[in-house]
Structure 1
Amino acid sequence: MRADARKNRDHLLAVAGTALTEQGVEVSLRDIARRADVGLATLLRHFPTREALLDELLRTSFDELTAKAGELETSGSPDEALVSWLRDCVAWTTEYRGVVVLMTAAIEDPESALHASCTTLRAAGARLLARAQAAGMARTDMDGADLFALVAALAWIGDQHSLAPRADHLFDVVASAVLTGTASGDGRGNADGA
């Protein structure tokens, strides 16, 4: 790619990242083009679909979270590694409003531009969960798909204005329910709903 084309592409990605943070994944491509001071055709020449733009924009973050999971697999205790990765994953997903909807849809759609990145990320979390389970530190009645669903649920909570102040507390509640020996002592949390 020529240097000027690379510069234009990088500019479009920077503008799209800001727009995505402000407006969420439903931000208009026309709005991104306007903010970048280019025509819609120019944006579409670089990124022919919304998913192509989002894949390019989000893939680096997915790769970073996947790499972090790999590092955590070999360092620290399995329970701390799992919770650390889970916290980072939830924090990142709340940065871009609505991204968890795209991620969960992409997991189910092999044709999605985001499919490979999302399935790789889910597998990385599943390995951390399996490590904690093998060490007797996490409940064994859940899998990577369950963990990914919890990330989505916790991100949704953080995305709701009225619930956002409780997000950290609810993260701790969920984490203690995933880990064994915490909350109620049996890894199943408080069954009273109190």
Structure 2
Amino acid sequence: MPERLRSDARRNYARILAVAEEEVAARGAGASLEQIARTAGVGSATVRRHFPTRRALLEAVSHKRIEALCVHARGLAEHADSRAALLEWLSDVVAYCVSARGLAAALSYDSGGDGTAGAGTAGDGTAGNGSVYENSCSAALEEAADPLLRRAVSDGAVASGVTVADLIALSVGIALATEHHPDPTAQAERLFRLAVTGLSPGS
């Protein structure tokens, strides 16, 4: 929750976020900001004051899951098998992206669909002050998982040149490609294993 908010503003923020979590869980990244405002009993301007873009809202909704993935990455740092540790974490990222609606959109690098959800953002994916909007969800995951990847590369278990950002993009792509599949969890896991092992027999 943002610091230095008045008590009424803090209550509004908490209420909006709780409603947003329910709406995103039900409707995904396209959840209506106007419906969130109505359900929370506040004006649309209040929602946009706390969350000036749809991405900002999705990042707030995804915060707990992102933190859980960061904690898991740190917990795997001393795993004996560096490749297995990295793949275990990445498999969890894919599973979270599939099961937690809105998370894949929060981790993606596009404008989140309507990068102009409210005043203060520009239509080119930049913030109102002209600076590029930072994807704090991806940044947090990259920082937490970087030691896992570096150790796997150092051990010769993963090709050099691979970045955590690449792995997150792969996870997001799999989640978005399978979201309308009859069994998205199973299909996402299958595609993930294909990506990990490659297409050649015996690879």
TM-score (norm 2): 0.72
1:151: which partner in 2? 171
* 1:55 to partner: Cα distance: 3.0
1:139-165 Cα deviation digits (max 9, x unpaired): 446333331222122212341324624
SS at match of 1:87: helix
Is 1:44 matched with 2:48? yes
Q: CA deviation at 1:16?
A: 0.3
Percent identity between matched residues is: 33
Q: How many residues align?
A: 179
Query: How far apart are residue 102 of structure 1 and its match?
Result: 4.4
Match of 1:23 in 2: 27
Name the counterpart of 1:166.
Answer: 187
Q: Which has the higher helix share?
A: 1
The within-5 A match list for 1:26-105 is 26-97=30-101, 99-105=103-109
- Partner of residue 136, structure 1: 156
Query: In the alignment, residue 200 of structure 2 is paired with which amino acid?
Result: A
- Which segments of 5 or more consecutive residues in structure 2 lack a partner in the other structure? 112-124
Q: Which runs of 5+ in 1 are unaligned?
A: 178-188
CA-to-aligned-CA distance 1:75-104 (integer Å, 9 cap, x gap): 342122112211221122223445434423
CA apart distance, 1:63: 3.0
Q: CA deviation at 1:44?
A: 2.5
Tell me: higher relative CO, structure 1 or 2? Use CA pairs within 8 A at least 6 residues apart: 2
Q: Is the 8 A contact 2:17 2:61 kept in 1?
A: yes
What is the alpha-carbon distance in structure 2 between the residues aligned to residue 106 and residue 157 of structure 1? 16
Please tell me whether the aligned partners of residues 97 and 159 of structure 1 are also in contact (alpha carbons under 8 angstroms).
Answer: no
Superposition RMSD on alpha carbons, in Å?
A: 2.9
Match of 2:132 in 1: 111
Post-superposition CA distance 1:7-28 (Å, at most 9, x none): 3311211110111122111211
* One-letter amino acid matched to 2:96: W
Relative distance call for 1:152 and 1:45 in structure 2 (3 A) is closer
SS at match of 2:42: coil
Moved more, 150-159 or 17-26: 150-159
* Structure 2 residue 145 is matched with structure 1 residue 125: yes
Letter matched to residue 192 of structure 2: F
